[in-house]
Amino acid sequence: MQTDKIFYSLFQAFPSIFFAIIGNTEINPNTYEFVSIEVKETAFRIDGVFKPVTETREEPLYFVEVQFQLDAKFYRRFFAEIHLYLRQNPSVNFWRAVVIYPQRIIETDDQEPYRLMLDSFQVQRIYLDELGTATEKPLQLAIVQLIIASEAAAIDQGRRLIIQAKQELTDEVNKKQIVELIETILLYKFTNLSREEVAAMLGIDDEFKKTRMYQSIKEDGLAEGRQEGRQIGIQEGRQEGRQEGRQEGRQEAKLEAIPRLLALGLSVEQIAGALDLTVEQVQQAVIL
């Protein structure tokens, strides 16, 4: 799972989540843009930087690093990048550094050279497993915790988050973005599942059909259908053949998904309901 990419996509779409993580909800996230910065004349690239429209003590520049792999020399690289950037950008006066870990055990022991900085207000270390359980946290932090949830718990947690989003959010655009974000996180977790299968497991087929991901899939299918139709050459045969092919394809995809859904702990009845099949069809697929 490419965790850093998930986080950076998350921060770009919902910058307020970053400020919720660091416990500073008073900042207006609309005054920041999340960017990647290349340090000149080096091989350094700082992937996550929140740049304020106007830099102040209350709204400083934030250097952000998501660190999910053990790296013995991480702090030496991280602080070198920051200080080199500050040298090349003398206009920057107010800054903070934030490192996001899944748990403390990932953090390197090589801390003594940077002890004063690590213990200062300018550097903040976040350990996601210490933020509390997802049910105890606001929606934004609960979505962040979905990233570190086990596969066994992720689907149920994703369902709860979607229900929570429907209850708490009134803006349909934000609600749609949250649903897409939850789907994307689960797709990174379950690389062997398709988007349709994840949507079925979450019970959000209708919402899924409204997302950009589904529309992209639909457009690809339409293009393929048109190509097939031209090859058939007869309008009636094109329509009938395409319809039958799509029905057979959808049915085969559903049947192929059954063993994977069973392996994830869903019951025969839950699978039948999610995939719009009868219990007998699910049982027959298991036997085969």
Q: Which pLDDT tens digit goes with each residue over 267-280?
A: 778 777 777 788 88
Q: Which pTM value belongs to this model?
A: 0.64
Closest CA to 4 of 147, 124, 138, 134: 147
Using a pLDDT cut of 90, give the percent of the chain over it: 25
- Check whether 133 has a pLDDT greater than 80: no
Using a pLDDT cut of 70, give the percent of the chain over it: 78
Q: For residue 251, what pLDDT band results from cuts at 50, 70 and 90?
A: confident
Distance from C-alpha of 284 to C-alpha of 272, rounded to nearest angstrom: 12
Give the pLDDT score at 259: 78
- Check whether 116 has a pLDDT greater than 80: yes
Give the pLDDT score at 119: 95
Q: For residue 205, what pLDDT band results from cuts at 50, 70 and 90?
A: low
- Check whether 223 has a pLDDT greater than 70: no
The predicted model gives 67-76 an average pLDDT of: 92
In terms of pLDDT, which residue wins out, 83 or 178? Answer: 83
Q: Where are the beta strands (DSSP E) in 226-280?
A: none
- Check whether 5 has a pLDDT greater than 90: no
